[in-house]
A = this chain, B = another copy of it.
């Protein structure tokens, strides 16, 4: 996991930080009765309308809340309404009407234009949200909004076993700025539930264009680098809101301030991605796979992703079996340019294959390494200068159990 969570100098981590941590953000949650019990609806708002950026799923089947938020994302954003249990995906024109209706009711309650609101849902695909239940709790959600809220990260959980949130604080010039976040996600799709969602807030002042660039780069190096089962859901979304309330001069061009902001945002995204994968469905291992020496970036990506998604590789991780042949096999069918005689492979940087030569003397050490909860696999194909990294889990009985269960 080298470098993944190395905290940049000068950054402090807020204990219990949530998206309500930066100045001017508030959150709340309620039980609308969507889940059998517990919190299932959350609201996140900004006192001053925020500039927003987002990364949405590339799945061609996009849920209604994704399509609606895509329309509103360029407006100043007052808040985001989130529900668990129903994905509102593949629900047709009715599903879109439901999403619009809920935002309109929220907008009326908060006395704001409804186009200033975003929305996100996670849960069963193909079933409509029980709108009346959500409507009924909207006044309560608005009333409970608080800068000290700690409940929202729990309300958005589905098969997650732990709530996921964090916040970091650092300085831009004289001003202290904060980035807060919460996320949910356990399988790319959980049993009936769907999706990885992440909500990030900041009081840092930064132009909309740079906000979007920073988010794109941060997502690329974090959420786009993890896989539990290779399934991309219809609802995956990462939202970033900036309300500029920290009072720093607005960052309008790339430079030291921008770099600092992107670094902090990237760290938050990597941390949240790690929390998601550590909570991967049935996972007993976290494996950090790097492919270097590829002829192109695309090739490196293909190799790392194919190894990370291979059921045979993942079951071998689960069995703690040093079956490196399966890794070589996966590289071979990944579609990347490959010269088998040049493949090197190491476990936790202990060389096991050196340009296809098997280093028997390191077998024992490598066998011990893969018994850890977390380990790394470093592959070098010696054909070029490109590399890629993907974090993955093992494939366990529990993954089959969780996902094979009835939708009861």
Q: A residues engaging B (CB < 8 A)?
A: 58-62, 87, 89-90, 92, 124-126, 187-189, 191-192, 194, 229-234, 310-312, 315-316, 318-321, 323-326, 328-333, 336, 338, 340-341, 356-358, 395-397, 399-401, 403-407
Residues of B within 8 Å of A330, CB to CB, are 231
Decide if B399 touches A311 in the complex (CB within 8 Å). yes
- 24 A-B residue pairs with CB within 8 Å: A60-B331, A61-B340, A87-B325, A90-B325, A125-B326, A126-B325, A126-B358, A187-B312, A189-B326, A231-B310, A231-B312, A231-B326, A311-B399, A311-B403, A315-B399, A316-B404, A319-B403, A319-B404, A319-B405, A321-B406, A321-B407, A323-B407, A395-B400, A397-B400
**Residue in chain B with minimal CB distance to A61:** B332
**Residue in chain B with minimal CB distance to A331:** B61
CA distance A90 to B328 in the complex (A): 8
Residues of B within 8 Å of A92, CB to CB, are 341, 356-357
CA distance A325 to B233 in the complex (A): 10
CA distance A356 to B126 in the complex (A): 9
Residues of B within 8 Å of A340, CB to CB, are 60-62, 90
Residues of B within 8 Å of A356, CB to CB, are 90, 92
Residues of B within 8 Å of A229, CB to CB, are 310-312
Q: In the complex, what's the smallest C-beta–C-beta distance from A361 to chain B, in angstroms?
A: 15
Residues of B within 8 Å of A311, CB to CB, are 229-231, 311, 395, 399, 403
Q: Which of B124, B230, B358, B404 contacts A315 (CB 8 A)?
A: B404
CA distance A358 to B92 in the complex (A): 10
**Residue in chain B with minimal CB distance to A190:** B312
**Known contacts A312-B189, A395-B311: A328-B231 contact under CB 8 Å:** no
**Residue in chain B with minimal CB distance to A396:** B400
**Known contacts A311-B395, A323-B192: A60-B406 contact under CB 8 Å:** no
Decide if A404 touches B318 in the complex (CB within 8 Å). yes
Residues of B within 8 Å of A59, CB to CB, are 329, 332-333
CA distance A333 to B232 in the complex (A): 6
Decide if B399 touches A397 in the complex (CB within 8 Å). no
**Residue in chain B with minimal CB distance to A398:** B400
CA distance A326 to B232 in the complex (A): 10
Residues of B within 8 Å of A321, CB to CB, are 404-407
